[in-house]
Amino acid sequence: MLPAFLAKYPDISVEICIDYSFTNIVTERFDAGIRLGGSISKDMIAVRMGPDWRLSVVGSPAYFKSYPLPAVPQDLSVHRCINIRHSPAGSIYAWEFEKEEKKINVRVNGPLLSNSIVHVLNGALDGIGLAYVPEAMVKDHINNGDLIEVLGDWSPLFEGFHLYYPNRRNMSPAFLAFVEAVRYSNINQG
């Protein structure tokens, strides 16, 4: 979406700041933020940017030579798992699972912790342990045999990403053009 938008509007400049914590976009003076739909404050305007998605538990074939394939989420307690912490002061993400109306959060342990999903994925590719990463990021690695997915029937769908922003009376034409460009229905048509 971004290359097409910038080509269409060459006079508009877009600044992107990556921060995995729940930054207050109003106090930090951002025009907008991007979050999963279920984590947006009700006083914000939200525009869907993409489809629902899920996370995949993956490990390398080399890793699974030393460890058994987990059959249920509770089996992760005997595995080396790569954790993610979204902000330095935040808690470590508990892996969320769901099957047949049963929801389970599992706190896993392992040798590596990062605030970057890319580093978590690289750790799994390097055989350090299991990772819980977005399915779209690992699809090619699974198809190529670089990673093996486990517990796929336990991975729930998460509400897709949304651009969100406060209700303002005087939004710039550039901002309104950007909002329209990221709208999921427009991306699918383009």
Which tokens hold the place of 80? 């080396």
Residue 186 has pLDDT above 80, yes or no: no
Place of tokens 């939200």: 46
pLDDT tens digits, one per residue of 112-168: 999 889 999 999 999 999 999 999 999 999 999 999 999 999 999 998 999 999 987
- DSSP state, residue 38: G
CB distance 9 to 131 below 8 Å: no
Mean pLDDT of the chain: 91
Amino acid 190: pLDDT: 47
pLDDT tens digits, one per residue of 79-114: 999 999 877 777 899 999 999 999 999 999 999 999
Question: Considering the chain, what percentage of its residues have pLDDT values greater than 70?
Answer: 97
Separation between Cα atoms, residue 127 and residue 145, nearest integer Å: 13
CB distance 49 to 181 below 8 Å: no
User: Is this prediction's pTM over 0.85?
Assistant: no
Count of beta carbons in the 10 Å neighbourhood of residue 161: 20
Per-residue confidence at 74, pLDDT binned at 50, 70, 90?
Answer: very high
Amino acid 187: pLDDT: 56
